[in-house]
Structure 1
C-alpha cells in the first residue's frame, strides 16, 4: 500500500483528490494538510511515501514546503499540483527535489498512475510540462552549460556514463544492459553520483546533464 499525504489550501480540492487517490485499492491517504507549514510537520509525523502538494499553499508556499520536505532524511517523493503550467514553477520545483509535476485537471487514472510511478522511483511530468522543459533546455545559455560541466567534472568516467543514461530516461535495468553491469551496481553509481553532485534525485541529475549538453 502506497501511503499518500494530500496538501492543498482548499478543502473541496483535498476531498476530490482523496476520492481519486482512494479509488485505487493500492493507495491510501494517511493525512491531509491545509497549509505549507502543516504539510511539513505532518509529513515528518506521518511519514508518507508520496506527497501531493499544491504550488500555491497558504502561509509557507508550496514550493518552499516541497523543498524542505525533499531535503529531509528519508524524504518522500513530492509531486506538485497546480492549475498553471508556468515555467518558473516547473524549474523551481524540479531543482528543489520534486519528482513529479502534474496539472490539477489531470485525469483520475493518470493521477493514480503518477503516484505509482513516483513511488517506484520514476519522474512524472504532464506532456505540457515536458514540452516546456524541452523548450527551456533548447534555449539555455552558454553560462549555464559551463557551470554544469564544471559540476559534472567531479564524477568519474563511469559515473558520468550513468548520469548521461539517466538523462536519456533509461531505467536502472536498461542502464545495466547498456553499460554491462548489474542493476544493483547501477543503483550504487547513481547514489554515488547524486552524493558528489549534491543532488537529491534523478530528475535533478538529468537536468544538470542536459544543461551540460550531455544529451
Structure 2
C-alpha cells in the first residue's frame, strides 16, 4: 500500500480494510489536533482499528465502531496486541454512540462511487463502495456527527474528491460547524478505481487523461 505511515500501525485480517493512503492522511490530521489526556474520541468505520489505536496512544478515551464483525474482531485483536484501552462496538455508524458526546470524531467511511448505484454493497466492497455518487455514508455522517460533538468538538473526515467534498463542507456548515479542507494528497488510481475507470470518465468524474485521485481531509469544529 503506497503512502503507508509509520504512525498508522495495525494488523489487518483477511477481508478487513487495511491502513492505506487515506488512513495515513487522516492520521496526519489527527496528530495536529490538541488532544489532552482523557479526551473522548469516536472512530466510526474503524476497520483494523489503526486510527483508534493512534488516538489511544495519546491517552484519549476511545470508542471504535464498525458494522463488520470481522473488522470488530480485528480491531479488538489489535487493541490487545498493542495493549491499548479501546472500547470496540459493532453497529451501524453512530448507533452504538447514541447518548454520548465526543471531543473528536474520526471518520474514514466508504466513499468510492459505484456503478451499482442504490444497491447496497456486499462483502469486502462494503469497505469502499458508497452508492452512485459515493455519498451513501458521507451524507449520514454530515447529518449525524454534529449532534454527537461536545462543545468545541471536532470531526475529521477523509474522502475522495470524486465524492464531492464541496457537498460535505456545505452540509457541515449548514449544521453550524466551522468547516474547511485541511489536508490534500494525490495518489495513483488504485485497483478499484481502475476497474471502473471508463464509467467514472463517462460520468465526468475523471478527466480523459487523469491518472490520479485526490484525497482530502475535512475538519469541522463546533464553535460553542
TM-score of the pair, normalised by structure 1? 0.26
User: Which has a greater percent of strand?
Assistant: 2
TM-score of the pair, normalised by structure 2? 0.25
Task: Say which one has the larger Rg.
Answer: 1
* Higher relative contact order, structure no. (Cα contacts within 8 Å, ≥ 6 residues apart): 2
